[in-house]
Amino acid sequence: MDFTTYSQFRDAALVETERQRIAAMAARREKNAADFKILDRRELSAKSDKDLAEWQSRYDTSEPQWRLAEHEWQRRLTAEQIRATMSSARWQAWFCIFGAIIGSLITLIAEFLAR
């Protein structure tokens, strides 16, 4: 076997394989672009975490569907943080109100005893 001939054969095979890979990638991107046009963002917010992760894994990080899923994850995280903050703020408000009432009662009692 002539090394130059084998090298040429191998190079031609690699070029053809690369062309096929690029063609398959272009077809996939075209299909994903068509899917993106009919995508409703409300569908993403209705998906469970598991379903959203599965849906996101179908797309490359450079595709808009992946980016939308990433924004959905950020939206969910922000909503969860807001809920936690509001719950904490409510308890803090109640403690503040009870503290003010107790402080007022102690002041009244101290003034009454000081007479």
Task: Convert the pLDDT of each residue in 29-44 to its tens digit.
Answer: 888 777 888 888 888 8
pLDDT band at 1 (very low <50, low <70, confident <90, very high): very low
Domain boundaries, the chain: 1-38
Please give the pLDDT value at position 71: 93
Q: How far is residue 57's CA from residue 2's CA, in Å, rounded to a whole number?
A: 45
User: Does the pLDDT of residue 87 top 50, yes or no?
Assistant: yes
pLDDT digits (tens, 9 = 90+) for 44-58: 889 999 999 999 998
Cα distance between the two ends of the chain: 116
